[in-house]
Structure 1
Amino acid sequence: MSSPPEVLLGILDDLGDEDFGRFKWHLQHGVLFNPIPKGKLERLDRGDTVDKILDTYSHRTLEVTEMVLEKMQMKGLWEKHCKNLSKPAGKDGPQEFHLSATSKSCQEELKSNLKRRFESFFEGVAEAGKPVLLNQIYTELHITEGGAAEVNREHEVRRIEKASRTADRAETIIKPGDIFKGPPGRSIRRVLTKGVAGIGKTVLTQKFTLDWAEDKNNQDVHFIFPFTFRELNVMKEKEFSLVGLVHRFFNETRKAGIKNFEEFQVIFIFDGLDECRLPLNFRRAEILTDATDSTSVDVLLINLIRGRLLPSAHLWITTRPAAADQIPADYVDRVTEVRGFTDPQKEEYFRRRFREEEASRIISHIKTSRSLHIMCHIPVFCWITATVLEEEMKSREGGELPKTLTEMYIRHLVVQVEMNNVKYDEEPATAETLSSESREMIETLGKLAFDQLQKGNLIFYERDLKKSGINLRAASMYSGMFTKIFRKEKTLQKSLFCFIHLSYQEFLAALHVHQTFINSGINLLEEKQTTIQQSPQQRQLHRLHQTAVDDALESPNGHLDLFLRFLLGLSLETNQSLLHDLLIQTGSSSQSNQETVQYIKEHLSWSLSAERSINLFHCLNELNDGSLVEQIQQSMRSGSLSTDILSPAQWSALVFILLSSEEDLKEFDLKKYSASEEALWNLLPVVEASNKALLSCCGLSERSCGALSSVLSSESSSLTHLDLSNNQLQDSGVKRLSLGLESPHCKLEALSLSGCLVSEEGCASLVSAVRSKSSHLRELDLSYNHPGDSGVKELSAAVEDPHCSLETLRF
């Protein structure tokens, strides 16, 4: 029996060039179906046309094809190719298909096996953690729709910090069970879900699968097949048919003899695209329409995604943002993003883990530290925090809780060591033995972390471990601590390794660099490494720190931001004392740290981006220096803040404070600080992070409009309401502002330009902006301007246009 892609390709192959052109013309002028624009069809050959039709019409592909051939009076060609068509039982396709006894038995066995596989959940690392039921520990995640299937190279902590400032903005929230459900008339077959490491993507897919296996959700789906790219990587050199690949991973289907998956409603889950080692070359991959034909795994995936194989199947692919562009945007029907925990979800997580009194204390403590509160958007960091604070409250009731990231990670490392005081042979480990073995393990893991971080590797193989001096068997035998910060996963052919989170790799890498400098005087961050011939007590850490600061500022994407925070935090004696006998005590020169603090403050006087400035303030916090921030806060509290005399570093401190304020970000009023263009330029990062910006009567000009246009065009902008009334923007300024309004990233819903000297020319650019498909603008105030008859007429017509979002217009 033929599949729909085979039927369609056969029909197009039988058409002569002239008839093929007519076929495409009818697709461009459809009445009973959505037409395909000429620009997306005219240069396509027959094979690419098949792809475009499948992508556009999905399960209606054959219905549309039949309508077009009927218009062309070539119904005989339809009958010729469709006599051997594999038809689903039921007019609406697979969802009305009734399972046979064999298929039903297979489904029940698959559900049972998937339930066993996913019902238990290990926080941290499976080999070391205590399993709990996923349904007991699972906390709902914040999932939003939107964004393009495009690459984002920013360090993930930067993205988390931005997400923490925009978690409350108006966005389309997606429930996990509704991931494939779209509005009427919109077919969603392929979903790409982005999210940083540790944010909960894998747990999300496991919960989705478990809910299906427990008959709680998506019961119109016959089979769910969850794969990971780690598993598929080891199949790189082998060939399978799609049926064979499913049989290999899901033996229930092989035993039941199921081969024609066209008959069923199927969901494929592919988790971890960022770890994919398969050559996903969509341009050069061979065409494959038969699910029983064998080829390489990458070709199978490409044809499955394109819709040539099993065009009725649904696909869910998860990835870190940096790898999102491996799937061309044309082959993605919906993009979603996992943003981790919102503030209420963080609290729910800790209340699930602790008694009410303990949970309340933990939540209150985390809120006092901006860096800890931000990191708790990441579920894995919540687990690290819970592990540390649980032990702290047991052993030091009422004691001081960790306030910085470095302190939190040091204490987590110490907790893991202290929890493994007994060897696997159950002989008590002496303090000397414990310290020696643990020190060796930390040193080798640190070397591995640093070497692989420099190469950009987050996944390692046994050969990588050997290069860093790690004997895997010996390590797992004598150090349970090893398995609690380092994850080992077995695929069908080989073992893969990674740290429990990227931040842990960065922490141990910083520890390695710090210890190497203290022990040998070698600065591992310099390209040409030289040894400083001094005793450990004489070596000046600020030289190492200055190199690290410079490297972090030169990194365009913030890839060394967190590494730098850890490296600086490790120089404090209070943090070193927490490591007990595990590492050689290095001591700390307060003078050296003061030189580092001064070096950072000098850089804050430069024209740095908001992200770089924010990270430097976090670095000062790790060094226990909050003088700049405290100085500004005292002035704000006393009402004596004068922005006229602020230095660049103090402006940066004010931005850092305001970005940490929930109230100021809900509604930012520039006049509270200074009604001037200079103040606006210094506080632009705050405007971008705010929901509502009040900039009326601030002496703004065309120059400010260019800056605000960039803010509106930013993907991370939260701005939905902007008041620019009573500023001399003029037509030239409104033109520049309109460019930002037309950006697909612009989220602005209300704009006031009252009394801004706008005439017909400025109104013309606004008409173009509000008619833009991506526009969200609902309210526009142009009172006390000079729009002229044409401006009034064109903007009023835009309000009447059902495709325009503008609802309220004031003249």
Structure 2
Amino acid sequence: MMEDPELDMEVPSPSGSFLNEEASVSMEDQPIEEEEDEDLYYIEPRRPSLDLGPLPMETGALLYVERPQSPAESYLSMRSEGIGSSVVSSEEDRYCTKIHLERTDSFSTCYSVDSDDCEIRTKVKSEDAMDDDDTLPELKENLTDVVQPYLTVKFVFTAICKVLQQLRPIGLETFRGHLWHRYPQSFSSSLQTIDIVDIVDQMLACYSLRVSLQITKAVLLQLEQKRLVDFLEDLENENEVHYELRERLKKLYGVFEGPGGEERPLDEVYTDLRIVKGANNGPNVEHEVMTIPNLANKKPKEDKHIHDIISVDFIKEIEQVIVLRGVAGSGKSMFVRKCVQEWSNHNLDHVNLMFALPIKEIKQKFGDSDTSFLDILYHFYPEAKRLNTKQYSSNKCNILYIFDGLEEITEDFDLPNTRCIFDINKPAKLKVIFASILKGVMLRSGFFLFTARPLPKFHVPHDTKHHVYEVFGFKEEVREEYFKKRFKDPKQAGRVIAYVNSSRTLQIMCYLPLFCSLLSDFCQSIFNKQGPDAELPKGITLMYTRLFLALLRDYRKEREAAVDEKEFVKSLGKRAFAMLEKGVYSVCISYPRDLEPLDEAESATYSGMSTVFYVKPMPFLDEKMFSFLHPTMQEYVAALNAFLSCLNEDKNLFDAPKSKKWKLSLNKKSSSIIELYKNALEKSLLCEDGKLDIFMRFLFGMSNSSNIELIQRFINPNVKWTSVAEEVGALLRKKIAENQYPARAENLQFCLDELVLQKSPPTRKLSFKR
């Protein structure tokens, strides 16, 4: 006796029969006697057909689906629970899958949703009922096997439909015939009158998901349709990789790690960013004291969101590149995390696969060695090895590659003169690989999102179709929202917000997510050390020092800089002080001779201290402009330079011009930090427009002992610092009492606040040794 391979599956019988004892079915339509109980076929009632909704067939929604004891029994359970044929999936119920499919591609226009063509038997057939089934493929189902969560009803239904739609009408008719001939025990009537959707519906009702795929491949092989079998296997591999990618990306990008290693879901912290279409809009020039003209074109533009940028229309276009620009700390990496999270949560289902690749980590791993694009991809996502390499160039598989931090590879990045490569398996330097992608010759069917700071020496090739967006950080109305999300304790959040609102400069600088993050970490550390009722310090210098060091640390961390750190800070400070003296906050890239030379790549690209933008002074003429990250950052760097010049070189930048004889006396180091403060204070009080007000706050804040400890790396080892808090504080109080400059009186009080962030004994000496 030949056994029916379907019955090799260890499927338990239902607890009761839904038919009367006289009902029986066989292939020969011969009745079976009532008393032959062991040969009876129990026929379960018709399950509800799958819900065919309005959405197009796709492989987007992947949920964990556990195979029940019997496929038919699973459909019955859906109906008994009142769910019907359309089961809504949720996180709470991972065993249900929602199906929404269009029937427009079916070969038949006549379809009965309540068709009763499929019945399943749960007892072994008699020997007489067995046919010549020697060529039946072996279909074994072990109920102890672990069910793969990526194998869902929606995917299997869609995948088989896609495959059968590629058969010609004659091929489809042959497929029906083979299916009926080989598996007649699963269908109660011929399949010649039903369409593709009905066929797949009945297969899924009678078999498990994995066996349904097995049957489809077996029949296709009998029809010598190896190409379609390969296509179906590619869909399976893509679906498995799709699921595993989502799970990996959820762990990597869906979690925010706070100070002390505390992990929280990204949604609990993420705050909407302001993103607009276009670029070269210039830096934020909002200032507490000054009114600084904006040289760039600042026409109001509509804010864009993730679904506007990674849109369905964008995916429909070929050879597309998105460049997301923004100054250091503006939230580009935060946008990437949110974008990846949206995809991993099934909110960007028009993207089949997404690979997020941080360029800094790529450079750390592969450096200057030759490597191929696939080697890079497999290093970060080993599951991608199961994909067919043809899928990377297929227009049917929408793959989005996200590269965060393009500035990491701009050394000698000569796009026009770089010889590109086409093969993703061919080893090459990183700059050649990225040039080939940007020129559109590698991965021509892929879609790319690059994040980058405004780079002085970089342009996307004009013949590459691309969109440019600019990130401006937080809008003013949502800046407080970040702190409310960041601090779980509403009382602590309120105190941090009050601290920020105590200074208009802090309010303005909170447009940078990086600044908000550093400020939150700083306040949280105070709460942790001194208790939840600890007093937050006054002043702004300490926060700017933290921002300055964070940018500089990012610039120096994994890169062999051509310029010594101290020399770079000195050069940057000289430029900031010279611009401040002239009362300018941006200059043309072809710098005047009287300004200190500066490497724009070091300043704008790697450290993020400055930025570049374009202005159009005349029609058909563009000028590249240089400015600091923010006007207050320029003032901070200028104050740092004045302070370090006094300590390291015994130079008082605010001394009036002296005779040659006086200059020689510099060797005697006659100037002191007290004299610096006196001269700077006198000069600032004479500025009616207040252009030195913020500068003076930073200058006085430099001598605070907490700030000294942070900037000691820039102080020469042989310098011994003696606190001048008492002397300088007395100087400020005297000026406030004299009230000779009432317009500057408020700023003098701010300077006093900067000086006493943390009180220190006036006789304490600090020796800095490196």
* TM-score bucket (shorter structure): 0.3 to 0.5
Q: Which is bigger in relative contact order (C-alpha 8 A, separation at least 6)?
A: 2
The structure whose Rg is larger is: 2
More helix by share: 1
Give TM-score scaled by structure 1 length. Answer: 0.43
